[in-house]
Amino acid sequence: MTNHKNNIHQASFRDPSGYMFHDGKTLRRCINPIYFPQYKKLTESGFFKTLIDNGLLIPHVETSASEEKIVITPEEIPFITNPYEWSFEQFKHAALHTLKIQKYALSKGFILKDASAYNVTFHKGKPIFIDTLSFDFYEEGTPWRAYKQFITHFFGPLVLAKYHGTEVFKMLQTHIDGIPVKLIASMLPGKSKLSSTLFTNIHLLAKMESKHSEDYKAETKVAKLSKKAQNNILESLFDYIKKLEIKEASEWGDYYNKTNYETAAFQAKKELIKAWVAPLQPQKLIDVGGNDGTFARTVLDKVPHIIVTDIDSNAVDYNYKQIQQNKETNMLPFVCDVLQPAPGIGFNNTERSSLIERLQEYAPDVTMALALIHHITLSGNVPFEKSAEFFAKFSENLIIEFPTREDSWVVSLLVRKREFINHFDFYNEANFEAGYKKFFHLEKKEAVSGTKRVLYLFKKMK
Amino acid sequence: MNYFLYFDPGLGAMIVQAVVAVAAGVLLFSKNVMYKVKAFFGLLKKDDDTYDSIDIEEQDTDTHDQPQK
């Protein structure tokens, strides 16, 4: 721990209260003396304990304490997802989670001093608050200082998603501190002004923000706000968000009802996957393009941690709902477009790491890519060698399904190329194998019975 | 503010909360009235969101000096 100053976590520099650092493989949190009074009160009053017992805050243990610093070690989270990778339901729950914590904090004489969406992530099937140092003392009569952040990080994006779909969450990639209130207001339809919640929390807020943006000397007096009034804000936002819904037609949501193969073939594919995954004894597995997690679920009882990504927010939503209903704790779904994975963003481009960096750190033992390669190759025009390079960056064992040219999906993708169809003559098993053999050894190959598809197992070259 | 400015809360956002709170108060009041009316006529619908309420079930905060479970 001697040279930990050099290992400070790249996302942890904004808050003077402390910082995260890597101590070998363990991530720990250092607390600076400026935050000692808060930390002590939060610990001694049992505030932390209640939040932790209720599964709201990431558990931590105190590792060391001196006059210069206190070091705590939070429970390890295998993989961090960012707000622009969440489905609607996940985003919604993260917002509700934040309000719930603020309301409780307020009742105990504390506040959340920030309401950044990055303070919440998903762990063991549920949202969890991960910034232990986000709490401060409540000062009687003061408005919630993180209110605006809550609007720009949570409320605004959710309301925009209602009108424009979950694509708007990707705007958070270019706005790390939330979507500006003025922009949110401008993107909402005029009728949104008729809702008292939207009018006050967004349109009026936008107006007030521009009106008071030139108060350089902080001269204007901040109005008082009673605790009861603040509770009303929190509760009405909670109610509103809880009722929010989106109407989005799914790209794949209904995929399994309109697949091109029979129930028997479906079952055959499941059996094959089970049989191939078991001997690899993976601790961590990722299913890229895994839809609602149907195939990942066949091995859920054998793998301690599973990630399922899909391009379709609705499929991820459906997966997330199943996780809640079945109370699954080892599955983590999130939205990912393989052709455009989340980049590294923020200060230095390192504040939030790119998807590839996070996957490399996660280092899954098994990567599954079922019914995906034809989309990457034919819809995305990515040559086999390039997609092999992508998978080789983070995969040890790769189980990949190759739909042949006779597969009805492939036929459909090819005819849509129209006069360019001849440009895609390279799409066949031989070229696929050749491309992947540049990065992997071919271990197994088997046709999925009842389909025009072939399942491959590749092992990465050392 | 007598504690340090960790980030700028936005002056407009601090002021607007007074108005937001009034609107929220009216809304919550009418919601409670509607709830009672609906309950009286047996019209309450079950919520299908898996996220529970804003309130935390407390065993409570002062449990640290009680025997562990």
ipTM of the complex: 0.75
Kindly state the average pLDDT of the residues A54-68: 95
The first and second tokens of residue A357, run together, are 């960096």
Has residue A411 got a pLDDT over 60?
Answer: yes
The lowest-confidence range among A305-309, A311-315, B4-8 is: B4-8
Domain assignment present for B66: no
pLDDT band of residue A1 (cuts 50, 70, 90) is: very low
Residue A322's SS3 state is helix
| Average pLDDT of the residues of chain A | 92
Given B6, B54, B64, which is nearest A103 (Cβ)? Answer: B54
Per the structure block, which two tokens stand in for A368? 């599954």
Give the pLDDT score at A256. Answer: 57
Alpha-carbon span A27 to A121, nearest angstrom: 16
Task: Please report the pLDDT score of residue B65 as a whole number.
Answer: 44
Domain assignment present for B38:
yes
Listed by number, the residues of chain A in 35-64 with a beta carbon closer than 8 Å to a beta carbon of chain B are: 44-47, 49-51, 53-54, 56
Is A131 within 8 Å of A218 (Cβ atoms)? no
Please give the angle made by the CA atoms of A153, A166 and A257, to the nearest 5 degrees: 145
Whether A28 has a pLDDT exceeding 60, the answer reads: yes
Q: Which residues of A touch B11 (CB under 8 A)?
A: 212, 215, 218, 220, 222
Task: Answer whether residue B27 is part of any domain.
Answer: yes
- Whole-prediction pTM value? 0.91
Q: Determine, for residues A137 and B3 on separate chains, whether the beta-carbon distance falls below 8 Å.
A: yes
Residue B39 lies in a domain: yes
Listed residue (A217, A193, A221) closest to A205, CA to CA: A193
8 Å CB contact of A137 and B56: no
Amino acid A220: pLDDT: 63
Q: Which of B19, B31, B61 is opposite residue A108, by nearest beta carbon?
A: B61
- Does any domain span residue B36? yes
Distance, in angstroms, between B64 CA and closest chain A CA? Answer: 6
Q: Which residues contact A19 (CB under 8 A, 6 or more apart)?
A: A8, A9, A12, A13, A29, A30
A205/B12 Cβ within 8 A:
yes
B40: confidence class by pLDDT, cuts 50, 70, 90: confident
CB contact under 8 A, B50 and A324: yes
Q: What is the count of structural domains for chain B?
A: 1
Q: Tell me if B59 is assigned to some domain.
A: no
pLDDT tens digits, one per residue of A116-153:
999 999 999 999 999 999 999 999 999 999 999 999 99
- Please tell me the least confidently modeled range out of A272-276, A399-403, B53-57: B53-57
B48 close contact with A: CB closer than 8 A: no
Smallest CA–CA distance from A321 into chain B, residue: B50
**Nearest CA-CA distance, residue A409 and chain B, Å:** 35
A 316-375 residues with CB below 8 A of B?
A: 321, 324-325
Residue B54 lies in a domain: no
What pLDDT is attached to residue B3?
39
- For residue A195, the model assigns a pLDDT of 94
Strands A60-65 and A284-288, how do they pair?
Answer: unpaired
Q: Does B57 touch chain A (CB under 8 A)?
A: yes
Write out chain A residues lying below 8 Å of B20, CB-based.
200-201, 204-205, 233
Predicted confidence at residue A431, as pLDDT, reads 96
Lowest mean pLDDT among A244-248, A252-256, A453-457, B41-45: A252-256
CB contact under 8 A, A46 and B64: yes
User: Rounded to whole angstroms, how far apart are CA atoms A260 and A17?
Assistant: 56
A235 contacts in chain B (CB < 8 Å): 24, 28, 54
Residues 89-118 of A with CB under 8 A from B: 92-93, 96-97, 99-100, 103-104, 108, 113-114
The answer to whether A277 touches A303, Cβ cutoff 8 Å, is: yes
pLDDT in tens, A416-444: 888 888 889 999 999 999 999 999 999 99
Query: Per-residue pLDDT for B47 more than 60?
Result: yes
Residue B30 lies in a domain: yes
- Range with the poorest average pLDDT among A195-204, A269-278, B23-32: B23-32
| Domain, as residue range, for B26 | 19-43
- Give strand ranges (E) for A361-435: 366-369, 397-403
Q: Using the beta-carbon criterion (under 8 Å), do A144 and B17 form an inter-chain contact?
A: yes
Q: Do A54 and B24 touch (CB under 8 A)?
A: no
Q: Nearest C-alpha of chain A: how many angstroms from B19? A: 7
CB of A168 within 8 Å of any CB in chain B?
no
Give per-residue pLDDT as tens, A167-205.
999 999 999 999 999 999 999 999 999 999 999 999 999
Chain segment A345-393, per-residue pLDDT in tens: 999 888 999 999 999 999 999 999 999 999 999 999 999 999 999 999 9
